[in-house]
Structure 1
Amino acid sequence: MSIVPLVKVSLIGVLDDKDTVLEATQRFGALHLIPLASAQKELEAVPPGGGREAVEALRWLVACPSQRRPVTDPDRFDLESVVVQTRKNRSAMKDCEDLVAKLDRRIQDVEPWGEFSFSDLAEIGDNRLWFYVVPLAKLSNIDTSGKVLEIVHKDRYRAYIVLLAPEEPPVGAMPVPRVHVGAESLSTLKHSYEEAVIDLEELQLERQALTKWRYVLARNLAAARDHSARRRAALETADTDRVFVLQAWARHDRIATVRDLAGQLGVAALFDEVSENDAPPTLLENDPSVAAGEDLVEFYQTPGYRDWDPSPVVYVSFIVFFGMIMTDAGYGLLLLLLLFLFRKRFAGSALGRRMFSMSVWLSVSTAAFGVATGSYFGVEPPEGSFLAHLNVLPLKNVDAMMKITLTIGVLHVVLANLMRACHEKTLSGRLQPVGWCLVALGGLATFLGQGTLLDKAGPAAVIVGLLVVGIFGSDRKVNSLKAGVLRVFDGLTSLARFINMFSDVLSYMRLFALGLAAASLGETINTLSGQLNDAVPGVGILIAILVLAVGHAINIGLGLIAGCVHGLRLNVIEFFNWGLKDEGTPFRPFRKEETRL
């Protein structure tokens, strides 16, 4: 685990060659540009590459379920024509889908009334048809005297009644308000629906035909965005007379490569080491097995360049915390099966492969903690069985689980402080974290060692730790009374974090609480399904299976949310609070955009 050392690169060349140098630098793709000119107004005038309409067209084509073989010859491609056709297809399909849904709903509403058409008023004595949907329980409330009405359809709950009268019956004459059926007959609606479905199929085929342009469209968009990025970069160089200066950050181990690039372009290259006044970006580099930890870290906060890389620690602890929250062997094995079935969907990118690897470990952790707590889809293994002997974590023992989770919290916070102490440069910066380690370990010893020697050693460690924090709470030199007073004030201010230490350690109790909640909900689902099976003979087994499937699916969904949110929160809030000092900016290389479909 490491933060890659960087070096500041200055490329100096003739102004006429700037565009060539920028294009080559973008193709090189390993430099993080440093703005040297304030050109905010000009930058706002530079439009983002690609155009919104073209981007929407590409998304529409890529999302098509059926794809044609892509055309790769750009000479056959007309960008404006393809974008216009795609936008028209998208708009027409949405309108057609809305029409199909509307007609389908109208047919469902009209179908109970059967096939009918409105006759000329003169043919039926200036009478009109009035339609009512009456619940069966209210049929007896209808006064049929003097009324011409007919029940044209009846189902289990409602009766569909047509009343013949020259005027709408007054309020109260019928037990329910009348309904509006519309003037179109059922056969007309079905004919319109059939035509709309055919039109929709034609539009779907047109969309499928347009997907052959997705590759060259993506290439055009990538080229447009690359050009836009170069124009923005050109505004941020320092230009004087006929000379321009392009400044950037580069990896220290690529100095020779950058020097070769400068030689090929015919520009001068100057290299400067990072100074105290510089604020370089942070480039994290880890072993591929824990590379997903970088994504977890940068999701919330990028560590400062002079700080340390917490990615491996966050990666491992997130996997452990996630497993403790899900804590069911059945759920873990089910997630592993789903990952195996959908493994090909993760293989398209480096990020997808990293996420797949981490997801596998999250599922393994869930299964492992499920075995340790004796939970298999909420079912405990029989006493005396092999699986019962593997039940080593008493999840329902509140006292034991409190001790376990608080120990995990203390060790996590202590690790954060030790890592910070190792990377600090000043004496107070190194000793303050050590003092907090003594406070945390002393408090844990006091809690766990009641009635033992630890009961006395714990408070002593807490006192020593607080003294260390208070004494080394500042790097001020006491060369005057004012400086002495300020140093004492700094020490007292540092001691105020004792409340933070207490609350942060207690935050790890959520591991036990969420794990117990998930296990209890699983047991409740099983109990409820068993009661339904007993209460309804025969069909009860089907209801019980449905309750099991839906209930455990909900429990898995809640567990996934809780595991991700709270498992990550304990790392990026509690752990970062004690382990990281500064927040940095991520290293973003100036490079060409990849065309990925």
Structure 2
Amino acid sequence: MSIVRLKKITLVGRQQDKNDIIAALQQFGELHIIDKERPNSAHETELSPKAQKAYQAIQFLQRTQHPRRALKHARHFDFERVVDEVLNLKESIRDISDRLEELNDRIGRMRPWGDFSFPPEDYVDHFRFWFYRLPVKYRAALNTLDVAWKIVGQSHQELYLVVVCDDEPGHDFLPVEREHLGSLPFKTLIQQRENTELRLEELQVRRQQLCRYLPQLQRDLDQANNRALFQYVSAQSEDFSALLTANERNTTEVNGRLFVLKAWLVEKKVPALTDLSQQWAFAFVADDPEPDDQPPTLLQPPRGFAAGADLAAIYQLPDYRSWDPSVHLYLSFALFFAMILSDAGYALLLAVGLALSWKKLPAAMAGLLRFMLAGAAIWGVMVGSYFGYEAPAPSLLNQLAVIDLNDYNAMMQLSVLIGVGHIILANLSVALSQWQHWSVWLPALGWVGISVSGCVFWLLPGQSGLATVLAAASALLILAFASERPVTDGKSALLRITDGLLKLTSLSKLFGDVLSYMRLFALGLASASLALTFNNLAADAYASNSGLGLLTGSLIFLTGHVINLALGIMSGVVHGLRLNFIEFYNWGAPGEGYAYSRFALQRSAAASQTHQEESNHE
């Protein structure tokens, strides 16, 4: 569990070999290039308009259902022509889909009036049809009309009325506004819909055919991105004379003949760069980061906890000189999710869904989900809830149900103790990672002492004296060492004490953060209560012993548990992350860093597969 140690590389090479050296470094694929203008941020190369269009085309084709077999070696392939055709096809499909949706809407609105044709404009002194959806309760209003009308259809709630007159009736003609059905007959709309569906089908077939060019599109796009990245890195190099003083520039013989490139490199990769320098005849110096430097962050969590780094990246990466929270996030997130879900049946159902789709997920994410669902299943067994039902009394599962969610006092104590433990872990992590800065690790230990003393005072009233002493000593530790302000006179001493007192005001924040963990108990209890409620409602419906009761009970059971499961998943994810990124990070203070971005050749999965096949063939 650590943040990878980096070296600051200053590389020097001959100007005439610059392009070859940079190409070799890109093939090496391990350096994080330092931007001359923004040295403490990740470099971002802007996509050219051509690359942006290509990305849109590729994403559109990747979402195609039932694509045709890809061509590994397309003859006479025109990159720009294919991209333009795909994007034009995308616009056409969107327009046709909108047109089809509009036709379906018009057909749906016209269907209640049946199949008819509109009279010509000059027919019967320009008399026209006007259409109304009249609620049944307003039927008496028809008796007051002085124009021809006819009811051509009706439902339980509405009458479908046709009024015949020369001018459009006013707004007070009937209690409802008239329907706007357009001027096209029903048959014409049906025919237009069929033609539109055929056209959409033809476009979808062409979309499937264009999927044949996906590997070539991705390969060409990768090449364009690699060229853009190469040009960006080339622009970050400087003339060697920029590192020299004015006198050295006048006396050196290599002025203008050498270039300099600065980068970060993983410490373990320095020997590999040494081998590369011997091969391409360049020199470099590997130095430790200076105090003013802000190196990028590269997390390397222990094996099996890689998803913890992904969780950390969701909110913010820790600072390079801070500590790696990956394992903490991994374990605590799984625990919080299990406590909020609180049902072994739900966990097993989700596990079945994961088993059916785990091959489509990244390995790290699949591992995290397996761990989460295993923990949720174990917690659900300990709670003794299976879709809201309890295991039979004489069974082993019933004996394993050792946690009672309805024991409010015990569950509140458990939730608070988990919160206190989580915050203590955050402070201990800070203390261990910042042991060389006494103004950081000593106050962190002080907050650990206050947290422990609070628990002792709460749970062990007989040890209140010990708790008071521990709390006082911890408060003095924070008060004395929370500030680095030097004491030179009475005023500076008073200011330093003031700094400590201000730091102690975080006591209210500590209390609030600990109580925030009670959401684990509240949400878990809510999930179990909802499951039980839906089960009771379904049982009441089944009690009628009728076919309708069986159907109603089944719908209540299925719909209720689907809703409850969805709420449990959403609550488990949102609140599980919130407790980590708000309460835990408040006390863990991992800082904010930026990602280590390797200068490497970009190669898509399809292009990599083709490259491997070509290598095997050779």
Output the TM-score relative to the length of structure 1.
Answer: 0.92
Report the secondary structure of 2:304's partner residue.
Answer: helix
RMSD: 2.6
Taking a change above 3 Å as real, the CA distance of residues 449 and 147 of structure 1, as seen in their structure-2 partners, is: same
Q: Which of 251, 259, 264 is the equivalent residue of 2:279?
A: 264
Contact 1:49–1:226 (CA under 8 A) maintained in structure 2: no
Counterpart Cα distance in 1 of 2:384 and 2:198: 56
Q: Which whole-Å deviations, capped at 9, do the CAs of 1:457-484 have from their partners, x for residues lacking one?
A: 2222211211222222234554544443
Tell me the CA shift for residue 126 of structure 1: 4.8
Q: CA deviation digits over 1:505-557, x for unaligned, max 9?
A: 22211111111122122222222333344469421222222222222222222
Closer, same or farther: CA 110–28 of 1 in aligned 2, 3 Å: same
**Equivalent of 1:556, from 557, 565, 572?**
565
In structure 1, the residue matched to 2:478 is 469
Matching residue's letter, 1:242 = R
- 2:314 pairs with one of 272, 283, 299: 299
After TM superposition, list the pairs within 5 Å mapping 1:191-270 onto structure 2: 191-239=191-239, 240=241, 241-270=256-285
Q: Is 1:389 equivalent to 2:404 in the alignment?
A: no
Partner of residue 437, structure 2 = 426
Aligned to 2:89: 89
Matches for 1:426-465 after TM superposition, within 5 Å: 426-450=437-461, 452=462, 454-465=463-474
SS of 1:539's equivalent in the other structure is helix
Match of 2:377 among 340, 353, 367: 367
Q: Answer yes or no: is 1:493 the counterpart of 2:499.
A: no
- Identity over the aligned pairs, expressed in percent? 36
Residue of structure 2 in register with 1:349 after alignment: none
CA, structure 1 residues 375+16, in 2 after alignment: closer, same or farther (shift >3 Å)? same
Per-residue CA deviations over 1:49-86 (Å, capped at 9, x if unaligned) read 75322211111111111211222226532011101111
Contact between 1:49 and 1:225, CA under 8 Å: does it hold in 2? no
Query: In 2, distance between residues paired with 1:35 and 1:122?
Result: 76
Letter in 1 for 2:537: L
Which residue pairs with 2:67 in the alignment? 67
Aligned to 2:614: none
Secondary structure, counterpart of 2:387 in structure 1: coil
Secondary structure of the structure 1 residue equivalent to 2:262: strand
User: Which amino acid in 2 is paired with 1:431?
Assistant: L
Change (3 A) 1:475 1:546: same
1:285-364 aligned within 5 A: 285-346=300-361, 352-364=362-374
Shifted more, 151-160 versus 62-71: the winner is 151-160
Instruction: Specify the SS of the correspondent of 1:271.
Output: strand
Which residue identity is paired with 2:456? A
Q: How far did residue 338 of structure 1 move?
A: 0.4
**Which of 407, 413, 416 is equivalent to 2:423?**
413
The question of whether the paired residues in 2 share the 8 Å contact of 1:435 and 1:466 is answered with yes
CA deviation string 1:383-421 (max 9, x = no partner):
454333222122122211111111111112222222222
The 3-state SS of whatever aligns with 1:500 is helix
Return closer, same or farther for 1:121/1:27 CA change in 2, 3 Å cut-off: closer
Relative to 1, partners in 2 of residues 1:126 and 1:475: Cα closer, same or farther, differing over 3 Å? Answer: closer
Answer yes or no: is the 8 Å Cα contact 1:142–1:175 preserved in 2.
Answer: no
- Which residue in 1 is equivalent to 2:253? none
> Quick check: 1:571 aligned with 2:586?
no
Q: Aligned with 1:70: secondary structure?
A: coil
Which amino acid in 1 is paired with 2:271? A
User: What residue ranges of structure 2 are gaps of 5+ in the alignment?
Assistant: 242-255, 607-618
Q: Distance in 2 between matches of 1:58 and 1:72?
A: 16
Does the Cα contact within 8 Å between 2:74 and 2:213 map onto a contact in 1?
no
Aligned equivalent of 2:18? 18
CA distance in 2, matches of 1:430, 1:146: 91
SS of residue in 2 equivalent to 1:76: coil
CA apart distance, 1:344: 2.1
Q: Classify 1:483/1:118 alpha carbon distance in 2 versus 1 (closer, same or farther; 3 Å).
A: closer
What per-residue deviation string (whole Å, max 9, x for no partner) do you get for residues 193-215 of structure 1? Answer: 11111111100001111111111
Cα separation, 2, equivalents of 1:502 and 1:274: 39
CA distance in 2, matches of 1:218, 1:242: 38
Q: 1:173 to 1:232 in 2, by over 3 A?
A: closer
Change (3 A) 1:567 1:88: same
Q: Specify the code of the residue in structure 1 equivalent to 2:16.
A: D
* TM-score, normalised with respect to structure 2: 0.89
Which moves more between the two structures, 366-375 or 398-407? 366-375
Structure 1: gaps (5+ residues): 347-351
Say which SS state the counterpart of residue 602 (structure 2) adopts: coil
How far apart, CA to CA, are the structure 2 residues paired with 1:29 and 1:111? 64
Q: Which moved more, 1:204-213 or 1:24-33?
A: 24-33
**1:68 corresponds to which letter in structure 2?**
R
Q: Which amino acid aligns with 2:335?
A: V
Report how many residues are paired: 588
- Per-residue deviation, residues 265-303 of structure 1 (Å, max 9, x unmatched): 221121112333322222211233111111111222222
In structure 2, the partner of 1:530 is: 539
Summarize the Cα distance change of 1:482–1:160 in structure 2 as closer, same or farther, 3 Å threshold.
closer
Classify the secondary structure of the residue corresponding to 2:547: coil
The DSSP-based 3-state class of the residue aligned with 1:9 is: strand
Q: Which moved more, 1:530-539 or 1:389-398?
A: 530-539
Counterpart in the other structure of 2:251 = none
Determine if contact 2:119/2:128 at 8 Å carries over to the other structure.
no
Task: Kindly provide the CA deviation profile for residues 23-44 of structure 1, in whole angstroms up to 9, marking residues without a partner as x.
Answer: 22122111111123579xxx99
CA contact (8 A) 1:325 1:512 kept: yes
* Greater Cα offset, 15-24 or 380-389: 380-389
